[in-house]
Amino acid sequence: MEKRKINGGSFPLSLAAEGENVRITAIKGGRGVGFKLTELGLPVGSELMLTQRNSGGPVVVACRDTRIALGAGMAHRIMVAPVMKDS
């Protein structure tokens, strides 16, 4: 697994592993980025599962019953933290 920098427990979505469950903790960028992600159904606090990741390319996330493809630049602006599922 790639080494990820964790600042306060958060790291960019682009560094999450396939199959990893994460929660959006912050969005880097202007209001436009936050607005666009909210319109896509990905506001801060949303739980996601990274379903597909290509090195340096787009990522696909699952949020509830929806899959959304995000470009590498957008994925790097989304800060996430791991979610531990109760077993």
Query: What DSSP string describes 29-85?
Result: S-HHHHHHHHHTT--TT-EEEEEEE-TTS-EEEEETTEEEEE-HHHHHHEEEEE-PP
Residue 21 domain-assigned?
yes
Q: Is residue 53 part of a domain?
A: yes
**Does residue 80 have a pLDDT over 60?**
yes
* Within-domain flag for 1: no
Q: How many domains does the chain have?
A: 1
Name the pTM for this structure.
0.84
Residue 5, domain member (yes or no) = no
Q: Specify the CATH number for the domain of residue 42.
A: 2.30.30.90
Residue 17 lies in a domain: yes
pLDDT cut 90: percent of the chain above it: 69
Cα distances from 9 to residues 25, 26, 50, 82, 83, in angstroms, run 9, 11, 17, 8, 11
What is the Cα gyration radius of the chain?
Answer: 12
pLDDT digits (tens, 9 = 90+) for 41-78: 999 999 999 999 888 789 999 998 999 999 999 999 99
Q: Is residue 2's pLDDT more than 90?
A: no
Range of the domain at 35: 12-82
**What tokens appear for 20 in the block?**
């990893």
Residue 6 resides in a domain:
no
